[in-house]
Amino acid sequence: MPSTLPAGSPAPADGRLPTDVLAELAARPFGVYVHVPFCTVRCGYCDFNTYTASELGTAPGASRADYADAVRRELDLAADVLGSPPPVSSVFFGGGTPTLLPPADLTGIVAAVADRWGLAPDAEVTSEANPDSVDAESLAALRAGGINRISFGMQSAEPEVLATLDRTHDPARVPAVVAAARAAGFDQVSLDLIYGTPGETLEQWRRSIEAALAMEPDHVSAYALVVEPGTALERRVRRGELPAPDDDDLADKYALADELLGRAGYAWYEISNWARRPEARCRHNRLYWTGGHWWGFGPGAHSHVGGVRWWNVKHPAAYAARLAAGDSPAHARETLGVETRRLERVLLESRLSDGLELGVLDAAGQQALPDLVADGLVEPPRDRLVLTRRGRLLADAVVRALVP
């Protein structure tokens, strides 16, 4: 069970992490996630921890201008807790919209991370970016400051679909910023797409994939639209203004994406992610899926080190206030038991093309395998369990069969 930390707790695990937990740090990659909780408008489908300027108002300490300083304070605290972890293998700025901050704030945080812990020589340093929040100049500044991978929230090439999603960018802006990113020296460019938006036809989805492929990204993520509770989209669906996403339509759209991306030379490596070359797989996300360690900075950010997981207070003002008082922003933590860690491995690693080591399955899971293979959900066993395309469509059911 998660335990809530008292407001004055100096750090996760009351200032320390047990030595056996810290000892695990050396065994797997260590990454840094920085959550940037600001957006110009809130998209109706999104329930991420992000705030528009009017939602934040004049809450003390929560301004964009003060944000990088607050993150640097958390970095000081993390350095005290972790001591000398191995050099950081990946940094990921996610949001929200990280690129609403001046580039110098983001690159200053990269420099501070490098200063405290060192960056591995081949470290992957990603920022998410909304297409209308960057230009040639800001992209050049991000690249010059050490960010070497950029992930654009394209979502769709169709104006109608973008409008339903409340996305503000002109679809023509995406090829322009991809070209600007290339000109700035980004070798790793990723595009995020969403399928299953109410009213989106299969033909519109095909055109979005083709438009993405025409930009020759190194990496593509395609997510099924989830109608999250409490969002404006959910209210519109509930009122009958928009139809709910349909499972068969989502399955057809996933199959089309996998087909077109595969034909263009992009191989899936996680259910929702495709890469043009093995080196273009997102190393930071792989760390989440393969039991790596990471410290998540920022309001609401989650961290994991050696089976201990903790997360920060959610509101940017509360986050800033904790740090300004010299306190940890951690809100709660939990220690994962051996069985929980095994279940998480099944859940996450079965979604990867590298697959799940069969030895992780218990007797019930091993017994379920022959039926899953006979049903065409799992490739015939080698030493790892790998989902077929049909299995990827029914991944939740496969996991339920493996961990009944």
Ligand X SMILES: C[S@@+](CC[C@H](N)C(=O)[O-])C[C@H]1O[C@@H](n2cnc3c(N)ncnc32)[C@H](O)[C@@H]1O
Binding site for ligand SF4 (CB under 6 A): 39, 42-43, 46, 48, 50, 95-97, 130, 153
Per-residue b or e along 168-206, where b marks 16 or more CB atoms closer than 10 Å to that residue's CB: bbebebbbebbebbeebebebbbbbbbbbbbebeeebbe
Helices (H) and strands (E) in the chain, counts: 16, 15
Classified as helix, coil or strand, 164 is helix
Question: Which one of ligand X, ligand SF4, none is in contact with 42 (Cβ closer than 5 to 8 A by kind)?
Answer: ligand SF4
Alpha-helical runs (H) found in 264-337: 283-289, 316-324
Q: How far is the CB of 197 from ligand SF4 (least distance, A)?
A: 12
> For ligand X, which is the closer residue by CB, 94 or 306?
94
Q: How far is the CB of 196 from ligand SF4 (least distance, A)?
A: 15
Q: How far is the CB of 192 from ligand SF4 (least distance, A)?
A: 9
Alpha-helical runs (H) found in 145-268: 159-164, 173-183, 202-214, 232-238, 247-263
Judged by CB under 6 A, does residue 153 bind ligand X?
yes
Question: Which one of ligand SF4, ligand X, none is in contact with 273 (Cβ closer than 5 to 8 A by kind)?
Answer: none
Binding part of the chain for ligand X, among 20-28, 71-79, 220-228, 331-339 by CB under 6 A, reads: 220-228
Q: How far is the CB of 79 from ligand X (least distance, A)?
A: 27
CB atoms within 10 A of CB 60: 10
Judged by CB under 6 A, does residue 89 bind ligand X?
no
Q: How far is the CB of 97 from ligand SF4 (least distance, A)?
A: 5
Q: Which of 345, 402, 403 is nearest to 375 (CA)?
A: 402
50 and 39 in contact (C-beta within 8 Å)?
Answer: yes
Site pattern 221..240 for ligand X (x: CB under 6 A): --x-xx-x------------
Site pattern 191..210 for ligand X (x: CB under 6 A): -x-x----------------
Percent of the chain as helix, strand, coil, to the nearest 5: 45, 20, 35
> For ligand X, which is the closer residue by CB, 101 or 356?
101
Judged by CB under 6 A, does residue 285 bind ligand X?
no
The length of the chain in residues reads: 404
Question: Which one of ligand X, ligand SF4, none is in contact with 105 (Cβ closer than 5 to 8 A by kind)?
Answer: none
β-pairing verdict for 330-335 and 356-357: unpaired
Contact residues toward ligand X (CB under 6 A) are 45-46, 48, 94-95, 97, 128, 130, 153, 155, 192, 194, 223, 225-226, 228
